[in-house]
Amino acid sequence: MSFAELLDHVGGMGRFQIIYAILLAIPVFMLASHNLLQNFIAATSEHHCQVHININNTPYTNLTGKLAAKDLLRVSIPMDSNQQPEKCHRFVTTQWQLLDSNATVTNLTELETEPCADGWVYDKSIFTSTIITEWDLVCDSCQLKQMAQSIYMAGTLAGGIIFGDLSDRFGRRSPLIWCYLQMAVTGTCTAFSPSFTAYCIFRFLTGMAISGIVMNSVSLSVEWTPTRTQAVVITMFGYCYAIGQCILAGVAYTIPNWRWLHAMGVFRAGVFSYLLLPRWFAESACWLVIAGRPDKAVKQLRRVARINRKKEEGDRLNIEVLRSNMQKGIASAKSSHTFFDLVRTPVVRRISFCLCFVCFAYYGLAMDLQNFGVNIFLIQLVFGAVDFPAKFISVLTIGFTGRRVTQTLTLILAGLSILANIFVPQDMKTLRTVLAVVGKGCLAASFNCVVLYTSELYPTVIRQTGMGLSNTMACLGSIIAPLVKMLDEYIPFLPLIIYGAAPIISGIAATFLPETLNVPLPETIEELETRKPVKERK
């Protein structure tokens, strides 16, 4: 009897599994938008240099005796090619002659300018406060905006590595509870950061916690769920993520101050999860068996059987039953496992190598919504809404055609949609947005698949370590994504080439992964290495 059969013995997808999956999804629902939060808390408003002019001594005034605001800008700030005030320079001396309609200026480029020595004036009609306006992350400091997002993603990378290893050593439950607490504390500190440096440090720590929460929540859900319903559970997590993105648009519109916007989601989710959820969390019985704690595994299985109204079946379970039916898993507890187990054997090594490419491709497209030139709140809502049909289609294809086909097709289609935007003129905003939305939907379907796929490919003894590796590669992609956007200053279409090529290469790599449709979760490395391909089993 495998562990999957034990789950069916104590109720299969019963009340416990349903309640457990919902409780684990609640924090994901509230934190789903965090990776895209920078679109709002770091939105770049229209801005120009601060000007200081003694209006009482000006030679030109309007009928009210005051210098008009537009005239003040005209004599103080040079205009760009779109006849808008320059963002990073001002005139060294006030050019009053520009107000005289009878006067002519032969060459405006000859007028001496200087950087914004006294700061900037920002348009606060949409966002009253962002990290851009608070710490002047514009002009020479504009790259710090992308660096801040990369630092946050570096935190998710570190969290995947650290908490992935800790979860395989000490179980899923304890690291998950710690991550809830860390997220609540560091997320709140981020919202009240006194400086940009402190902001980046706390965002890094928050990213670590969020990575640990998502990774352990998925693992607990998968390990407590029968094989036939795992795709549905993972899709539910995906829908929580999509709903969170849609809600983000409304919340960001309602709360235009970045500090309160950040604090609202992180603190609420962290405190709620840490104070209310842990008492309901059961450690993974599968992990307990592998870790050499069959007595605790029996206790958890009996509890699940009782909740699922299978008390009699649960009472018949004991340590002897586990030992006689899960000999491979218990035997594997005698040997320790490390990160090197991901590359030590041929099958696991191939899986790890291919997943490195697959997980690298996800981030990038939705990291800068202002780039589309339409209402930022509307595009966020559309980007979130497209996940619903995308994930619904993906769960159908996952269940019928398999994980590998779904993973391959969604990644390649996403890449082609992004590359198509290279050939669309900038003024065709609607078509560019449609192609971007299609690409985002395909990437959402791909992400929905890879989360389930990764958890099914690795055996229990190194599942969290393997998911940590996948998370690491996804985070590397997310770290690089903001930095790639900087390349558009040199070659405008280069970021799209990189964003489009990465999913296509990843889709090709996915074809080398084994299919896991209707295949029980492997418990040991030896079991995975000796498992026959799906076609041979048929």
How many CA atoms lie within 13 Å of 213's alpha carbon, on the beta-carbon side?
34
> Other CB atoms closer than 10 Å to residue 147's CB: what's the count?
17
Most confident of 14-23, 125-134, 266-275, 290-299: 125-134
Greater pLDDT, 471 or 298: 298
126 class by beta-carbon count within 10 Å (0-12 exposed, 13-18 middle, 19+ buried): middle
Average pLDDT value for residue range 120-132? 89
Please tell me the predicted confidence (pLDDT) of residue 274.
55
Share of the chain above pLDDT 90, in %: 4
Cβ pair 468, 160 in contact under 8 A:
yes
Residue 477 has pLDDT above 80, yes or no: no
Average pLDDT value for residue range 323-342? 63
Average pLDDT value for residue range 305-318? 80
295 class by beta-carbon count within 10 Å (0-12 exposed, 13-18 middle, 19+ buried): exposed
Please tell me the predicted confidence (pLDDT) of residue 278.
61
Q: How far apart are CA 53 and CA 323, in angstroms?
A: 85
Please tell me the predicted confidence (pLDDT) of residue 357.
67
For 246-296, how does the pLDDT look when each residue is reduced to its tens digit (9 = 90+)?
888 888 888 889 898 887 766 555 555 556 566 667 888 878 877 778 788
Residue 147 has pLDDT above 60, yes or no: yes
Please tell me the predicted confidence (pLDDT) of residue 195.
93
Residue 205 has pLDDT above 90, yes or no: yes
Greater pLDDT, 527 or 63: 527
Handedness of CA 234, 237, 243, 245 (dihedral sign): negative
Residue 11 has pLDDT above 90, yes or no: no
Please tell me the predicted confidence (pLDDT) of residue 337.
65
Average pLDDT value for residue range 2-16? 76
The neighbouring-strand residues paired with 79 are 85
For 32-85, how does the pLDDT look when each residue is reduced to its tens digit (9 = 90+)?
667 778 888 888 888 888 876 654 445 554 444 445 667 777 788 887 777 778
β-pairing verdict for 113-115 and 47-49: unpaired
Residue 199 has pLDDT above 90, yes or no: yes
Share of the chain above pLDDT 70, in %: 81
Residue 483 has pLDDT above 80, yes or no: no
Q: Which residues of 253-287 are buried (b: 16+ CB within 10 A; e: fewer)?
A: bebbebbebbbebbbebbbebbeebeeebbbbbbb
Average pLDDT value for residue range 197-220? 88
Q: What pTM, to 2 d.p., does this model score?
A: 0.76
Q: Which helix (H) or strand (E) holds 190?
A: helix 173-191
Handedness of CA 373, 374, 376, 379 (dihedral sign): negative
Helix ranges (DSSP H) in 43-119:
69-76
Handedness of CA 192, 198, 202, 207 (dihedral sign): positive
Q: How confident is the model at residue 103 (pLDDT cuts 50, 70, 90)?
A: low
Please tell me the predicted confidence (pLDDT) of residue 335.
56
Residue 197 has pLDDT above 90, yes or no: yes
SS3 115: strand
Q: Which residue has the tokens 């950087």?
A: 115
Please tell me the predicted confidence (pLDDT) of residue 99.
72
Please tell me the predicted confidence (pLDDT) of residue 326.
62
Greater pLDDT, 45 or 374: 45
Average pLDDT score over the chain: 78
Q: How far apart are CA 509 and CA 356, in angstroms?
A: 9
Could you tell me the CA-to-CA distances from 48 to 140, 306, 399 in Å, in that order?
13, 66, 54
For 433-458, how does the pLDDT look when each residue is reduced to its tens digit (9 = 90+)?
888 888 888 888 887 788 778 878 88
Average pLDDT value for residue range 163-168? 82
Q: How confident is the model at residue 513 (pLDDT cuts 50, 70, 90)?
A: confident
**Torsion, CA 389, CA 391, CA 396, CA 402, rounded to 10:** 140
Handedness of CA 56, 59, 64, 67 (dihedral sign): negative
How many CA atoms lie within 13 Å of 429's alpha carbon, on the beta-carbon side?
9
**Which amino acid is present at 284?**
S
Which residue, among 378, 380, 376, 265, has the nearest Cα to 34 in the 3D structure? Answer: 265
Q: Which helix (H) or strand (E) holds 157?
A: helix 143-170
Phi, psi of 129 (to 5 degrees): -155, 130
SS3 12: coil
Q: Which residue has the tokens 């379907």?
A: 445
Please tell me the predicted confidence (pLDDT) of residue 331.
58
Q: Which residue has the tokens 């005239």?
A: 71
Q: How confident is the model at residue 98 (pLDDT cuts 50, 70, 90)?
A: confident
Phi, psi of 520 (to 5 degrees): -60, 150
Average pLDDT value for residue range 226-245? 80
Greater pLDDT, 338 or 88: 88
Average pLDDT value for residue range 399-404? 86
Residue 209 has pLDDT above 70, yes or no: yes
Which residue, among 159, 157, 77, has the nearest Cα to 118 in the 3D structure? Answer: 77
For 464-476, how does the pLDDT look when each residue is reduced to its tens digit (9 = 90+)?
778 777 777 777 7
Q: Which domains does the chain have, with CATH numbers?
A: 3-44+136-537 (1.20.1250.20), 47-122 (no CATH)
Please tell me the predicted confidence (pLDDT) of residue 245.
81
Which of 63-77, 208-222, 482-496 is the least confident region? 63-77
Which of 56-70, 86-100, 143-157, 468-482 is the least confident region? 56-70
Tokens at 49, concatenated: 């240099």
Most confident of 67-76, 269-278, 317-326, 387-396: 387-396
How many CA atoms lie within 13 Å of 90's alpha carbon, on the beta-carbon side?
22
Q: Which residue has the tokens 């994504």?
A: 481
Please tell me the predicted confidence (pLDDT) of residue 409.
92
Greater pLDDT, 21 or 82: 21
Cβ pair 309, 317 in contact under 8 A:
no
Average pLDDT value for residue range 418-440? 82
Tokens at 450, concatenated: 């890879």
Which of 166-170, 262-266, 350-354 is the least confident region? 262-266
Residue 96 DSSP one-character state: G
Q: Which residue has the tokens 């960001």?
A: 252
Give the list of residues 6+ apart from residue 90 with CB closer than 8 angstroms, or none.
48, 49, 51, 76, 77, 78, 113, 114, 116
Residue 29 has pLDDT above 90, yes or no: no
Q: How far apart are CA 133 and CA 211, in angstroms?
A: 29
Angle at 471 between CA 329 and CA 186, to 5 degrees: 110
